[in-house]
Amino acid sequence: MLTQTQIRHYRQNGFLVLDRFFEDSQIQAWRRELAQMIDLAPISSTNRKNRYGQTVEHPGDFSFTLREPEGVGQVINRISNPLARSEMILRAYGHPKLLQTVASLCGSDFVPFAESIVIKAPHRGAAFDWHQDGSFKTGVQPERGVNFGIYLYPSTVDNGCLQVIPKSHQWGQVDLKSMVKTHGPTLPDLIPVPVNAGDVVVHNRNLVHGSFTNHSADLRITVYFGYHRRQTVTGVFASDHVDQREQVVALAIQRWTEFKPVAEDKDQPAPAAEAPRLASNRFHSTVRHLSAEEEVEILRAPPLAI
């Protein structure tokens, strides 16, 4: 749950840093999972095989930077659909603290927008051009959506931390092309948002943001979970599609609640005693046992992209 002061800060500035949101043991588990996912990733955007010669399922989940330094090869910079790719991440998605925090910003009827993982490899991680998220299909709304960025490693100016223009979420749709033409790549009023491992940066999708290249020897990984208020997507997408995305939350809560750590998972919290308590426990009624095919369909429903 966020305090009124935190909510006010978020609304005024368009972003908020939540210090030490996840415990070290949880961050270690995320790191192990991501190390494995990256190790088993396809070699490049045009090769379905990984470095062990295995064919990778859904290779389109992996994006690579094409602006690689000469001779280095393509560098992985994003993994999409992480909830479909990892039981551990799906379970963490149902973390009560996370869901309660989302609900305190978006209301308890929030709907997941999309999930992805940004990876900035040492010395090569690519920049993200200045942008506002989404397509403004439904016009500019102050509460158009929220991104939660979970930091698995410290993020610094040197390793290409997130940079934002505070309060720019109040500017409507910004002509960033002309801003860059006028000011060059370092926009006026831009500030870096350096954070520690375990911190979460919450930002409004209308906020002007991006990041520079990773010039350092340090890896940066951020897991992004995005959410809308349900009313934002109602009437824009078919209600079946919105329902499908919403079911992801129910599925994650189920995984979180049912998880029984085994010996080697003892650093993962035992969650059963801490079942999620959202303002209106609406997700509880939607939890039922799904077939493997139904689960895949839900976990791979397209993002609610506006």
Ligand X SMILES: O=C(O)CCC(=O)C(=O)O
Residue ranges in contact with ligand X by CB under 6 A: 118, 128, 133, 162, 209-211, 222
CB 214 within 8 A of CB 67: no
Compute the distance between CA of residue 151 and CA of residue 193 in angstroms, rounded to an integer: 12
C-alpha to C-alpha distances, 254 to 28, 211, 264, 271, 288, nearest whole angstrom: 22, 35, 21, 11, 9
Q: Which is nearer to ligand X, 81 or 247 (CB)?
A: 81
For the bound state, the minimum distance from the C-beta of residue 151 to ligand X, rounded and expressed in Å, comes to 9
Q: Which is nearer to ligand X, 227 or 259 (CB)?
A: 227
For the bound state, the minimum distance from the C-beta of residue 14 to ligand X, rounded and expressed in Å, comes to 13
Q: Which is nearer to ligand X, 170 or 213 (CB)?
A: 213
Residue carrying structure tokens 């002509």:
175
CB 303 within 8 A of CB 237: no
Residue least distant from ligand X (Cβ): 211
For the bound state, the minimum distance from the C-beta of residue 222 to ligand X, rounded and expressed in Å, comes to 5
For the bound state, the minimum distance from the C-beta of residue 281 to ligand X, rounded and expressed in Å, comes to 31
259 alpha-carbon distance from chain centroid? 22
Compute the distance between CA of residue 176 and CA of residue 131 in angstroms, rounded to an integer: 7
Question: H helices within the chain, ranges in order?
Answer: 4-13, 24-39, 82-85, 87-93, 96-106, 176-183, 230-233, 239-258, 282-286, 292-299
Q: Which is nearer to ligand X, 160 or 276 (CB)?
A: 160
Q: Which is nearer to ligand X, 232 or 247 (CB)?
A: 232
For the bound state, the minimum distance from the C-beta of residue 155 to ligand X, rounded and expressed in Å, comes to 8
The CA-based angle 79-231-174, given to 5 degrees, is: 65
Residue carrying structure tokens 């092309």:
177
For the bound state, the minimum distance from the C-beta of residue 280 to ligand X, rounded and expressed in Å, comes to 30
The CA-based angle 30-35-39, given to 5 degrees, is: 150
For the bound state, the minimum distance from the C-beta of residue 177 to ligand X, rounded and expressed in Å, comes to 17
Q: Which is nearer to ligand X, 112 or 210 (CB)?
A: 210
Give the list of residues 6+ apart from residue 213 with CB closer than 8 angstroms, or none: 124, 125, 126, 127, 160
Q: Which is nearer to ligand X, 134 or 276 (CB)?
A: 134
